[in-house]
Structure 1
Amino acid sequence: MSQTLSPERIRADIAELLGCDPDGIAPDENLVDLGLDSVRIMVLVERWRAAGATTLEFPDLFELPELAHWTALLTGVKA
């Protein structure tokens, strides 16, 4: 979806909003369970749209809030 979004940046952006170490996020862990609420997901949608993921929508992320899914969706690379 975007050439400017790397798996490392996606993980770092999520960790920043969760206030945790990026390495502490397991690829299959539910990010909502970790504390990523709908407002924070919208922050990520806007941030990643600005970085080139122009067709990204909130439901794309909310339907399966896992790092591996989001990374594959945004980059085509598995986390």
Structure 2
Amino acid sequence: MDHSQAPILQALQAHHDSGQLPFTPPGHKQARGADPRVTEVLGGAVFRSDVLSVGGLDDRSSSGGFLQQAEGPKADAVGA
């Protein structure tokens, strides 16, 4: 089993690189809509990975295949 790929991380990076601004929850829009008081304490990076699978990365009904690609290596890694 190939454990050298990280499909979810790669999809997340591609999502960030695309510069899309989602109009779905969560409302902080990968830190662009976060309360400045919160980003002052936590920084904006904490919000960058908080994207919905639906209309963002992947889900079971509108699949880009990223979740499925990640499931096999993860199951193998934990012996499932």
TMscore range, shorter length: 0.3 to 0.5
Whichever structure has more helix as a proportion of its residues is 1
Structure with more contact order per residue of length (Cα contacts < 8 Å, sep ≥ 6): 1
Larger gyration radius, structure 1 or structure 2: 2
TM-score normalized by structure 2?
0.35
TM-score normalized by structure 1?
0.35
